[in-house]
Structure 1
Amino acid sequence: MGLIETKWSLLPGAGGSQRLARVVGLPLAKELIFTARIIDGVEAERIGLVNHAVNGDDEAAYQKALEIAREILTKGPLAIRAVKTAISIGNEMDLASGLRLEQQCYGRV
């Protein structure tokens, strides 16, 4: 996987330059985009781009996803819903606003 558009004198589309920097950090995002480097799943896991690299085929990846889903299912559904909101929406806010959102979410559980 990679953002290889710079090979063709293009910018990454669909927000790739913005999202990658937010996930792996500005220095590494610049390096990956400037060099148009392709990385494998193991490297993507190492740099935090993906949560898990799975050896094997689509079935192995599916089984890993089911394993994680089963683990999540044992947790409180209202808490999972609230923290999902706090993380997803709060990540787009400044810290003070994110903390206020977290408090609002906490009140729903």
Structure 2
Amino acid sequence: MSYENILLEKENKLAVVTINRPQSLNALNAKTIQEISSAMDELNADESCRVIIITGSGEKSFVAGADIKEFSDFGQEKAEELARNGHNTLFNKIENTSKPVIAAVNGFALGGGLELAMACHIRYASENARLGLPEVTLGLIPGYGGTQRLPKLVGKGIANEMIFSAKMIPALKAKEIGLVNEVYPIEELLTKTKELANTIANNSPMAISKAIQAVNLSDTEKGFESEIKYFGELFEMNDKKEGVAAFLEKRKPNF
């Protein structure tokens, strides 16, 4: 499938989705959201792809936010539809996909850009990255999951401070509060992200898929029961048989 606003590259067991709108600092408009969603569908159907990386083109911006021009004249009904469609089309899809998604945050990750990064399972950032949710400066609140995912990552107090103040924070501060996992020089970011992705790709895709489901339920009443259920289900799957056999035979598993 061909895309206009994103680049899709496949490399062994990895795929890199690059948001490619440098003229607007990779801002998310409706077409870009749909294209990323379509790429996710394509990669989820590709059995050779084990891990997905999402990043932005250039060194200035991961995603500088949503494209405000698209919704500047919306009323309540259309605004709610915009947010709901965003959740269903992309952000929830990323969070609940069966394959790990890593955000390589290169530069600005603001508003919808930070929300996109937070929907991913893991976040690496470049040293020049700046992260924030500036929506209240527009008389709005985050609409693509920012008020829900940020508190789970950094706690309610820090989330409130970031949302209420609309301040950007640097990458090292983001790591300190647990918003990103690691910080690297911009020229090393994608290489380091691919190193992690390759490590993950060598592990059991069946187990990782169940782990994603279990972790996503960790703050619900179903969390512990789901872990028990998925743990049991894996005992009937080939990956568990191969993993245990490899351990007993003192060799690397071939998943």
What TM-score results when the alignment is normalised by the length of structure 1? 0.81
CA distance in 1, matches of 2:197, 2:142: 32
Match of 1:43 in 2: 173
Confirm or deny: 8 A CA contact 2:218 2:224 kept in the other structure.
no
Q: CA deviation at 1:92?
A: 5.2
SS at match of 1:53: strand
Match of 1:91 in 2: 218
Match of 1:73 in 2: 201
CA distance 1:29–1:107, shift in 2 (3 Å): same
Bigger strand fraction: 2
Number of aligned pairs?
Answer: 104
Q: How does 1:22-41 map to 2 (within 5 A)?
A: 22-41=152-171
Q: Is the counterpart of residue 102 in structure 1 residue 227 in structure 2?
A: yes
Instruction: Specify which of 134, 139, 143 is matched with residue 9 of structure 1.
Output: 139
RMSD of equivalent CA atoms: 1.7
Letter in 1 for 2:228: Q
Which structure exhibits the higher relative contact order, with contacts defined as CA atoms closer than 8 Å and separated by 6 or more residues?
Answer: 1
Letter in 2 for 1:102: E
Q: Between Structure 1 and Structure 2, whose CA radius of gyration is higher?
A: 2
Cα deviations by residue, 1:15-69 (Å, 9 ceiling, x for unpaired) = 2122211211111011111111101222111111111222124xx2221111112
CA distance in 2, matches of 1:38, 1:104: 41
Cα deviations by residue, 1:70-100 (Å, 9 ceiling, x for unpaired) = 2223333332222222112x23522xx2111
- Which moves more between the two structures, 37-46 or 79-88? 79-88
Bigger helix fraction: 1
**Percent of aligned pairs with the same residue?**
35
CA distance in 2, matches of 1:51, 1:18: 19
SS at match of 2:182: coil
Q: How does 1:52-71 map to 2 (within 5 A)?
A: 52-57=182-187, 60-71=188-199
Structure 1 stretches of 4+ with a deviation exceeding 3 A read none
CA distance 1:12–1:80, shift in 2 (3 Å): closer
